[in-house]
Structure 1
Amino acid sequence: MSSKTLVQVGKVHIPEDADFRHFKSICEDNEGWKLEVNKNQTMVWTKANELSSFKMVKVRSVFDDLDAATLYDVLHDPEFRKTWDKAMLESGELCAINPNNDIGYYAIRTPGPMKNRDFVTQRSWLDCGFEKIIFNHSVNHSGRPMKKGVIRGTSYLTGYYIVKLDVNKTQLTYVSQSDPKGNLPAWAVNKLTHMVAPKVIQRIYKAAKTYSSWKAKNRPGFKPWLHPEQMMELPRFNPDDIVSSEKLAASSDSLEEDEGTCKEGDLKDEDY
């Protein structure tokens, strides 16, 4: 069995053990990565890759007072995400492929005059108890055509690796091998690495501290990622809904060359 992932942009693929091992190796192996940030138990690395001019980003944090199971629930729960992800414009699950794979939509707000982005991805997950993996890659579902003025980004392989280090000590690694497309200025890419990535991890941590009390009041028994029979609420996957990978490219309407006119001084830290 190959150690390389078989995941390809535009194609629905049911991951095998080798695919999850491949993602885990990306999260654990720092060879060839450049350390950009090392502060407050959070480290950020970048790495050039052959798929995009946009560098891969890896963030790793250790939480001393958070259990792995809660963090796993937080990263899965789409309703809870609406309470803490302030950059999210819209999200939703389009269909269930099987008990460990679905297809969903996510739209993100970006500081103006940069254009908003959206993604359509197949998400895959595996819970091995002391370690848990969630990753996604872009597909193109007919239920979510491209929108004028919104740039369709591409996720080549993006996700989370959660490791239980002790009873309430958890390590979270986030890896993004994606391309937001468009004409992002260089300073925006730098901000994404040094400021935005660590901020997102901290927001996830703060949200996780409130999850148990929130979930107790919001369908406490509903966790499809743990109870596969609950995924029956979603539409079933239809292969005919997956369109050709060429259509993943952003439309000419959304690729207006105006993002580079945005100056770093025009935005405040809270805009990120």
Structure 2
Amino acid sequence: MSGQTVTIPDDRAFASFKAECLCEEGWTQTYNKGGITVWTQVLEEGKSIHKIKCRMICKDVSAATMYDVLHDIEYRRKWDSNVIETFDIGKLTVNADVGYYSWSCPKPLRNRDVITLRSWLPIGNDYIIMNYSVKHAKYPPKKDFVRAVSIQTGYMVQTQGPNSCILTYMAQVDPRGSLPKWVVNKASQFLAPRAMKKINKACSKYSEWKQRHNPHLKPWLNPEQTTLTTIPLSELSVQRAESLEKIDESSVAETHEREDSD
């Protein structure tokens, strides 16, 4: 999404994202264990922008359930221990909306937040959800957070059978900071695999949870159920990294905190 004007992704954008999810050329494998593989891509040496791709084989989760879990914002607040705050701001079309998400970073780094335009599309028996950063006048950067920039981030869920799927997560993000090398290493070697495992675990408990929490409410499948206010595209602009504060955390040392158990 390199243009100046905010646009809603079209079929070509989804096809391009899918092709990159499937491509391994130009990527360096950094992790491969227990059905989870992680690749990274160095874009420019010394720059904070990084690209990461994770793929997980899920033998006991259907693609439809995975798609629901990735969409369900109420359920995310329950299972995602990194989330600080997340909410939908408004809708653009039947398959695109704008939302806010803030998350905790490994200590002692400052926490990040982001405003994104998210769009989604079922393609046959597969699904894609992807986003990129936008600006909205009512949600400026906050004093206590570093506003990160999602250049393009998303998920692809591929059906493998009635109760199995492959989840691919790909992110090109500018965290707006000169990060120490240990952060990048920790992301690919530990944080990304752990996040994938958490999603898988969340999927196994979703059906039971959803039965007790508005079981028929799935606006990502049934657009008529949404209560979000429509936002005109004119209220949005593409979030440029250059316009945000850049934080130098390159000298920050790692602290060994107790990790959540999976």
Is TM > 0.5 for Structure 1 vs Structure 2? yes
- 1:204-236 Cα offsets, whole Å, 9 max, x none, are 0000100001011111111110001112x1011
Matches within 5 A, 1:92-241: 92-231=87-226, 233-241=227-235
Given the two structures, how large is their TM-score scaled by the length of structure 1?
0.89
Aligned to 1:38: 32
Residue 151 of structure 2: SS of its match in structure 1? strand
Matches within 5 A, 1:5-84: 7-8=1-2, 11-49=5-43, 53-84=48-79
**In structure 1, C-alpha distance between the alignment counterparts of 2:187 and 2:241, rounded to whole Å:** 26
Following superposition, the deviation at residue 271 of structure 1 comes to 7.1
Quick one: percent identity of the two aligned structures? 39
Following superposition, the deviation at residue 10 of structure 1 comes to 6.4
Gaps of 5+ in 2: none
- Give the counterpart letter for 2:43 in structure 1: N
Taking a change above 3 Å as real, the CA distance of residues 134 and 140 of structure 1, as seen in their structure-2 partners, is same
**In structure 1, C-alpha distance between the alignment counterparts of 2:32 and 2:241, rounded to whole Å:** 39
Following superposition, the deviation at residue 9 of structure 1 comes to 6.9
- 1:244-268 Cα offsets, whole Å, 9 max, x none, are 64587323xxx554x334322x223
Residue 56 of structure 2: SS of its match in structure 1? strand
**Contact 2:154 / 2:170 at 8 angstroms: preserved in 1?**
yes
**Contact 1:162 / 1:173 at 8 angstroms: preserved in 2?**
yes
Equivalent pairs, count: 260
**In structure 2, C-alpha distance between the alignment counterparts of 1:68 and 1:156, rounded to whole Å:** 26
- Give the counterpart letter for 1:115 in structure 2: R
- Give the counterpart letter for 2:179 in structure 1: L
**In structure 2, C-alpha distance between the alignment counterparts of 1:246 and 1:14, rounded to whole Å:** 17
Residue 73 of structure 1: SS of its match in structure 2? helix
**In structure 2, C-alpha distance between the alignment counterparts of 1:246 and 1:174, rounded to whole Å:** 23
Residue 93 of structure 1: SS of its match in structure 2? strand
Gaps of 5+ in 1: 1-6
**In structure 2, C-alpha distance between the alignment counterparts of 1:182 and 1:135, rounded to whole Å:** 23
**Contact 2:149 / 2:239 at 8 angstroms: preserved in 1?**
no
